[in-house]
Structure 1
Amino acid sequence: MKTDHHASKTVITFGTFDVFHIGHLNILQRASTLGGRLVVGISSDALNIEKKQRAPVYSQQERMAIVSQIKGVSEVFLEESLEAKAGYLRQYQAQILVMGDDWKGRFDHFSDLCEVVYFARTPSVSTTSIIEVVKAIT
């Protein structure tokens, strides 16, 4: 049960959320327990190509539609630049930034804007590994 103190907090997280899987669901559900409002920045197709050197399987519109329907998610927006994260934190008045622990330490410099929390990733699941398995069996 969320306390009133929790209910007033805005939590934000960022990701590609391509080929939606249990790891994605776990981080969104856990993040939503930290506050009353969960805002999710979905990496744009162009940003994903820049970060991972490949286009996402699902388009940014499809990924935004999927994540927006997850229980606990209050709002989604398109993250178009990694350099704009501080601006997104301010724009959405985030009190807590949640990221997977594969990013541990990489967002600590935002601790002057909000609390930074890293959650352990769900073991043995990633979009990249799912795509590799699918490629191998087709």
Structure 2
Amino acid sequence: MTRTVITFGTFDVFHVGHLRVIQRAAALGDRLVVGVSADALNERKKGRAPVFSQAERLEIVASLKPVDEVFVEESLEQKREYILAYSADVLVMGDDWAGRFDEFEDICEVHYLPRTPAISTTALIEKISNAGE
């Protein structure tokens, strides 16, 4: 029986922290499905547009060896529907979301992975923005 893992993220300004969470998520099953936040969702969630477009971020994530399928995550409120639609056995999120998705333990396992220390997309964007000053 195939064990499907699902995870979600913006994956903007793709960095080694993103790669590691994808690799660790993939190691928990046989098939990895990744929801990439829509541009509009990212603007609502973070108050800014992503640096890379939704299409570019989907292409980057889809090209990674551990990733079997990608889709656009339109809404945070649809997590349950996405888990069910992709028949996910495991939901993986970063530990910055710890406890926020325990409600889905009735339909799948929920794992919170530690983030890679000292790596943040927001910090990288700020560093790049300030480099020209």
Shift of 1:71: 1.1
Q: How far apart, CA to CA, are the structure 2 residues paired with 1:115 and 1:70?
A: 24
Give 1:106's match in structure 2, choosing from 95, 100, 117.
100
Q: Any residues of structure 2 matched to 1:75-90 within 5 Å, and which?
A: 75-90=69-84
RMSD between superposed Cα atoms in Å: 0.7
TM-score, normalised on structure 2?
0.98
Q: Show the counterpart of 1:34.
A: 28
The one-letter amino acid of 1:112's match is D
Match of 1:23 in 2: 17
SS in 2 for 1:30: helix
Q: Secondary structure at the match of 2:43?
A: helix
SS at match of 2:7: strand
Secondary structure of the residue aligned to 2:5 is strand
In structure 2, how many angstroms separate the alpha carbons of the residues matched to 1:13 and 1:53? 22
Letter in 2 for 1:16: T
Q: In the alignment, does 2:109 pair up with 1:94?
A: no
**CA displacement at 1:36 relative to structure 2:** 0.7
Residue 122 of structure 1 aligns to a residue whose secondary structure is coil
Secondary structure of 1:117's aligned partner:
strand
User: Number of aligned pairs?
Assistant: 132
SS in 2 for 1:34: coil
Of all paired residues, the percent bearing the same amino acid is 61
Q: Partners in 2 of 1:45 and 1:94 — Cα distance?
A: 24
Q: Runs in 1 of length 4+ with deviation above 4 angstroms?
A: none
Unmatched 5+ residue regions in structure 2?
none
The CA distance in 2 between the partners of 1:18 and 1:85, in whole Å, is: 20
Match 1:57 to one of 51, 61, 64: 51
2-structure distance, mates of 1:12, 1:69:
16
The one-letter code of the counterpart of 1:108 is D
Correspondence 1:123 to 2:125: no
Correspondence for 1:12: 6
